[in-house]
Structure 1
Amino acid sequence: MLLKKEFVFDAAHNLIHYKGKCEKLHGHTYRMVVIIEGIPDHEGMVIDFCEVSSLVKERVISRLDHAYINDIIPQPSAENIAVWVWKEIEGFLRRPNCHLEAVEIWETATSGVVVRKEDINA
């Protein structure tokens, strides 16, 4: 079973190792989806949505929302942001009945990236 929780945050960045318009300072309203795979426990839940929300808000949203992401993540492409998010939350979501399956980061309504465990260890 896959459980999904979606978040939105606003932030600015620029891609200093890129030639094109994204090398200039600009911002996005990012959409982030955390996907957890698991088996429902004795309460009938893979994991409590409220617990996922609290964890992600504390570990990720509080740091990235209305921030200049370059101060936190070097070369903050959508790919690098997704890897950073994975590393910030994966250990907290590893349970006997579930684990983090994927992190999606959307920079626009039509452009996003999905990161999975095999992408982190590659």
Structure 2
Amino acid sequence: MILVKKFSFEAAHNLTRYLGKCERLHGHTYRLVVKIEGPLNEEEMVMDFAELKKIVEELVISKLDHSYLNDMFDQPTTERVAIWIWDQLSKEMEKRGVRLHEIELWETETSGVVYRGEKV
């Protein structure tokens, strides 16, 4: 079974190795969708939504929300930020007996990435 939880955060960035309007400082309201998979536990859940929320907020949202992403990433594309989020969450999920299935990171309503942990 796959459990899904949505989050959002605000962040600014500029793409330093890009020619176009995104090379200038700008911000987004990012939408993050975290999907985990695993068997039902003794409470008939993959994981408690409150527990998942606490983990994601502590490991990801608290670090990214209202930040300047260039302070954390050399080239803060949505793709690079998604890989970082995956790295923050995947081992923590394994410790809890579930697997991070997929994340979606949307920088606008119509533009985002899906990442499943593959090497890029």
Classify the TM-score, shorter chain. Answer: over 0.9
Give the whole-Å Cα distance in 1 for the aligned partners of 2:8 and 2:56: 11
Corresponding position of 1:62: 62
Q: SS state of the match for residue 37, structure 2?
A: strand
1:10 Cα deviation from its structure 2 partner: 0.5
1:48 Cα deviation from its structure 2 partner: 1.1
Corresponding position of 1:47: 47
Give the whole-Å Cα distance in 2 for the aligned partners of 1:93 and 1:48: 12
For structure 2, the residue ranges without an aligned partner over 5 or more in a row are none
Q: Which amino acid aligns with 1:38?
A: G
Corresponding position of 2:7: 7
Corresponding position of 1:34: 34
Give the whole-Å Cα distance in 1 for the aligned partners of 2:66 and 2:78: 16
1:38 Cα deviation from its structure 2 partner: 1.3
Q: Which amino acid aligns with 1:20?
A: G
| Aligned residues between the structures | 120
CA contact (8 A) 1:41 1:97 kept: no
**TM-score, with length taken from structure 2:** 0.95
Corresponding position of 2:100: 100
CA contact (8 A) 1:40 1:97 kept: no
Q: SS state of the match for residue 109, structure 2?
A: coil
Corresponding position of 1:84: 84
How large is the RMSD of aligned CA atoms in angstroms? 1.2
Give the whole-Å Cα distance in 2 for the aligned partners of 1:80 and 1:97: 26
Percent of pairs identical after alignment? 51
Corresponding position of 1:75: 75
For structure 1, the residue ranges without an aligned partner over 5 or more in a row are none
Corresponding position of 2:23: 23
CA contact (8 A) 1:73 1:84 kept: no
Once superposed, which parts of structure 1, at least 4 consecutive aligned residues long, lie more than 6 Å away? Answer: none
Q: Deviations over 1:34-93 (max 9, x none)?
A: 110111111101011111111111111111100001101221111111000000111001
Give the whole-Å Cα distance in 1 for the aligned partners of 2:82 and 2:24: 21
